[in-house]
Structure 1
Amino acid sequence: MITYNKLWDTMKEKGVSQYRLIKDYGVSAGQIGRLKKNGYVSTHTLERLCEILKCNIEDIVQYISEQ
């Protein structure tokens, strides 16, 4: 399973709120909702988040085996 739990920690470290992602960077509220539910988001969205937060993909995404 892919989780975005690390995203929220990275955002806190970088001082970027969900509101700021939406208002300042144009990330849609729908994308934020999917991230909160560990749903599908495009690689484009992940790339944008890495650019915005100046971080690596492993700072926002984690794979957890379902076994």
Structure 2
Amino acid sequence: MISYAPLFKTMKDKSITTYTLIHVHGLNSRTIHNIKHGKGISTFTLEKLCVALDCTPNDVIEFIKEDNQKI
């Protein structure tokens, strides 16, 4: 499972709001909605978030393995 908890922590630490991501950095509001609801994002979006927040993918997403998850 992918968690976006690191993204919200990074945003808070850097004082960047979702409004800023949408209106300054050009992320789609639907993308922000999907993130808030735990849906997947593309690597293109991940890259845009990393550029906007000046961070790495680990500062945006976290992989959490579920006990019954098969590989």
| Equivalent-residue separation in structure 1 for 2:22 and 2:51 (angstroms) | 15
Q: Please list every run of at least 4 consecutive aligned residues from structure 1 whose deviation after the TM superposition is greater than 2 angstroms.
A: none
Counterpart for residue 62 of structure 1: 62
Name stretches of at least 5 consecutive residues in structure 1 with no aligned partner: none
**1:60 deviation in Å?**
0.8
TM-score after normalising by structure 1: 0.95
CA RMSD in angstroms comes to: 0.7
More helix by share: 1
Say whether 1:15 aligns with 2:42.
no
Cα distance in 1 between the residues matched to 2:23 and 2:50: 17
TM-score w.r.t. length of structure 2: 0.90
- Comparing both chains, which one has the higher relative contact order based on Cα–Cα distances under 8 Å and sequence gaps of 6 or more? 1
- Aligned mates of 2:56, 2:27 — CA distance in 1: 18
Q: Establish whether residue 52 from structure 1 lines up as the match of residue 55 from structure 2.
A: no
Instruction: Please tell me whether Structure 1 or Structure 2 has the larger radius of gyration of its CA atoms.
Output: 2
SS at match of 1:25: coil
